[in-house]
Amino acid sequence: MRRLIAYATGALALALVAASAASAVTYATVHGSETLSGFGEATLHGVGSAIGGCLGGALILRFKAARKFLRNLLREIREHA
């Protein structure tokens, strides 16, 4: 059952990505000049979002690792006390 849910959600995600890509290509072909005029700004926004997402994810993982370390340290102190 788990494998079926994983495949179904994966297929749904791929379908959403394909629909999004098709929509973007359709918009770009229909609105050629508008697409080119906003391309640089949109690219910078996308790069900024990607970098921000990476930094945010790294910070969250780092804080999670720090909390786990402190939790284990306190547990060991309590056990030996």
Task: Give dist(CA 28, CA 25) in Å, integer.
Answer: 5
Give the pLDDT score at 19: 92
Co-location of 24 and 51 in the same domain:
no
Q: Is the pLDDT of residue 81 over 70?
A: no
Task: Give dist(CA 53, CA 46) in Å, integer.
Answer: 10
Domain count, the chain: 2
Burial class (CB in 10 A: 0-12, 13-18, 19+), 80: exposed
Which whole number is the average pLDDT over 70-78?
A: 87
Co-location of 24 and 6 in the same domain:
yes
Co-location of 33 and 45 in the same domain:
no
Question: b/e map of 34-48 (b: 16 or more CB within 10 Å)?
Answer: eeeeeeeeeeeeeee
Co-location of 18 and 43 in the same domain:
no
- Please give the residue range of the domain that contains residue 74: 39-81
pLDDT tens digits for range 4-60: 888 899 899 999 999 998 998 888 888 878 777 887 788 889 888 988 888 888 888
Co-location of 63 and 76 in the same domain:
yes
The CA-to-CA distance between both ends of the chain, in Å, stands at 46
Give the pLDDT score at 18: 92
